A and B are shown apart, each in its own frame.
Chain A
Amino acid sequence: MSDVILEVKNLSVRFPIRSGILQRQTGAVQAVSDVSLQVRRGETLGVVGESGCGKTTLGRAIVRLYEPSEGTVVFRGEDITHKTHKELSATRKHMQMIFQDPYASLNPRKNVGAILEEPLLLNTNMNREERLARVFELMDLVGLRRDAMNRYPHEFSGGQRQRIGIARAIALNPDLIVADEAVSALDVSIQAQVINLLVELQKKLGMAYVFVAHDLAVVQYISDRVAVMYLGRVVELGSSKDVYADPLHPYTKALLAAVPAAHPKDRKKVQPLTGDVPSPANPPSGCHFHPRCRFATDKCKTEAPALRRLGHVDVACHHAEKIKSGEVQA
């Protein structure tokens, strides 16, 4: 399987909870729990879920902004889980990140030219002329006017700033970009521009995306495959087409049913999912979704279902077969 660019195996990330004046560790938040998935060269894997589902932590653990507690991350055939900071710098040329708030991730004291030149300066042997040519090329690629080179981040709108963030991410021709809520803060008309840009750049440059977002329609639009997460676990994983057309996990079903209608004539009649998303510091036993699940049985309260193949998708639900066949209904 040489076309696999990223393989995450049994990845868990725990954050300590400290309390008291001595700040002793009194517990842990299991933000990501035993997640395994692969990303192939040039594809987009969407990671979707609600607050606290672990999607952001997963994205950051992949690029090693967070330290995995267990499991491995294999990138370009190389286990990078335990690489030191120094060793990682060579890896990071090939793996980049785009953040939700481009303003917070761009140095306000540097102009666009300097921001885009920096990765070239640090990682390549290009001379000044070559770097300038590359900066112009990057600005053309993301649709920024070349005369904007001497302007500073605060002079740009949110959408343009995200273009700067994208230009910086692609500067070194990475194989993988982790995009964390990259279009969530943008107005819809601008969001569409940035989504189109990401799709277009992937076609031209062939990098893979891990696209982390809470907006189900956006994730479906951009992704080849989708991982649905709930409280640290992947509950469903499959092609975007299969997962959205025929969701098997009761949580995926509920999530899709909760998306507002596209037209007033299609107003939702279904009863919304009850209850809140539980705290990841104290998740329910067994299947984390069981307190909100209309199909839950005693088994679900005690035994965590493993992710397993059913038809075309992977699903973590004890009753997936019965739900699929329509044997059990709400």
Chain B
Amino acid sequence: MSNFSSGDAVLKVEGLVTSFRTDDGTVTALDGVGFDIGRGKTLGIVGESGCGKSVTSLSIMGLLPSGVGRIDAGKILFEGKNLATLPEEEMRDIRGNKIAMIFQEPMTALNPVFTAGEQIIEVFMTHRNMDRSAAYKAALSMMEMVKIPDPERRLEEYPHQMSGGMKQRVMIAMALACKPAVIIADEPTTALDVTIQSQILRLMQDLQKDTGTSIMFITHDLGVIAEMADDVVVMYAGQVIERADVVTLFDHPLHPYTKGLLASIPHVGQHRDKKLSTIRGSVPSLMNLPAGCRFYGRCPYRQPECEQTRPALESHKGAHEVACLFAGRIDAGEIKPNYEALGGE
């Protein structure tokens, strides 16, 4: 099921280091991030606030704020090119055309002064060199493809006249307009109600089946990962700490952070007589990271070595990779969690 090791990767990220200049000095937001996205597959990237999942997508798209954020090292390989060093003119041909993006806030991603139709038509005219009437027809068929009811009328509407779900459909229509090889979806359903979220997830799955597009799906929601992903990358404080195919990750998480994350979500069917597992403490500041494992301060399995030695992402079994010095021994039950050592919650 996993395709991390296969050669059929449409996008490959290697050792990506991205930093931001701030008033308080340089912050390394991504520190050696790597993964592949398989052709026609969905890669889920999951992590909490500040883990670097959105910076990863901005780095790939070449959308880091200029003069503030920059890629210091690493490669982003796509169709034989390294996007990390590609000049802006060439990047413009790829962005929105071969790699498209869907954002969390369709209201801010869509231009409020143009109708939905004008915005989709523009995509076709810019990237496909279509004339206006051909672009209109193409836009109409995109609207039908994303199942927007009454598409002729909707093309004439402005973003503020549409509901959140409808705007996200328009965003998806725009993203799909150029038949991209990869769609990067950054929390595309986080702002939506649960019944609308399930419509949009279903739509993305159906469209992927029809078009064969690969999807990089960024979310904080493990439920959405369970619904959508083929493979999963778990990020923590700017690093990839575990990657596996989705079933393996849920059945057999290895990293103490992944274990904690999975255990801390309440599920429908669970009641409060059973206390929720938590991860003690909070994510370390990127300004002040520990020398060794970045999860050290919160890890119930930690050993003295973890404080100074930084674990590399290594294969555990086949394509299942984990960045934990003691993953094998924890998995074998040789190291037990010690919550007392961490102090209060």
The residues of A with any CB-CB pair to B shorter than 8 Å are 50-51, 143, 157-160, 187-193, 195-197, 199, 214, 216-218, 220-222, 240-241, 244, 254-268, 272-274, 276-277
Contact = CB atoms under 8 A, between A and B. Distances in A.
B264 A188 contact: yes
B272 A255 contact: no
A220 B268 contact: yes
B227 A188 contact: no
A256 B198 CA distance: 11
A264 B247 contact: yes
Contacts of A265: 247, 250
B193 A259 contact: no
Contacts of B48: 187-190
A216 B267 CA distance: 9
Contacts of A276: 163, 165-166, 196
B337 interface: no
B170 to A, nearest CB: 13
A189 B46 CA distance: 13
A190 B268 CA distance: 19
A255 B268 CA distance: 12
B272 A273 contact: no
A273 B199 contact: yes
Interface in B145-187: 163-166
A217 B270 contact: yes
6 contacts: A50-B195, A51-B193, A220-B269, A254-B195, A268-B227, A272-B202
Q: Which of B163, B201, B268 has the most CB of A within 10 A?
A: B268
A259 B229 CA distance: 16
B198 A196 contact: no
A157 B281 CA distance: 10
B112 interface: no
A32 B276 CA distance: 33
Given A221-B266, A261-B223, A195 B276 contact: yes
Please provide the 8 A-B residue pairs with the shortest distance between their CB atoms, ordered closest to farther: A260-B223, A189-B279, A50-B193, A192-B264, A187-B48, A221-B266, A258-B198, A272-B198
Contacts of A196: 275-276, 278, 345
Interface in B197-231: 197-199, 201-202, 220-224, 226-227, 229
B282 interface: yes
Given A217-B268, A262-B226, A192 B193 contact: no
Contact of A195 (B165, B260, B266): B266
A143 B198 contact: no
Prevailing SS type, chain A contact patch = helix
Contacts of A261: 223, 226-227
B304 interface: no
Contacts of A257: 198
Contact of B261 (A189, A199, A240, A254): A189
A268 B193 contact: no
A272 B195 contact: yes
A3 B275 CA distance: 26
A258 B268 contact: no
B246 interface: yes
B228 to A, nearest CB: 8
Contacts of B163: 276-277
B269 A267 contact: no
Contacts of A188: 48, 220, 222, 261, 264-265
Contacts of A190: 48, 282
Contacts of A258: 194-195, 197-198
Contact of B282 (A143, A157, A214, A218): A157
Interface string B249-266: 011000000001100111
A192 B271 contact: no
B5 interface: no
A273 B195 contact: yes
Contacts of A222: 272
Nearest to A51: B193
A17 B209 CA distance: 45
A214 B194 contact: yes
A143 B267 CA distance: 25
Nearest to B164: A51
Contact of A267 (B193, B226, B271): B226
Given A196-B275, A263-B226, A273-B195, A159 B282 contact: yes
Contact of A272 (B199, B223, B226, B260): B199
Given A159-B282, A189-B261, A217 B193 contact: no
Nearest to A44: B272
B344 interface: yes
Contacts of A191: 264
Contact of B250 (A197, A218, A263, A268): A263
A254 B199 CA distance: 12
A144 B196 CA distance: 38
B122 to A, nearest CB: 26
Contact of B344 (A143, A187, A272): A143
Contact of B198 (A160, A262, A273): A273
B246 to A, nearest CB: 5
B106 to A, nearest CB: 14
Interface in B44-72: 48-49
Contacts of A241: 271
A202 to B, nearest CB: 9
B227 A267 contact: yes
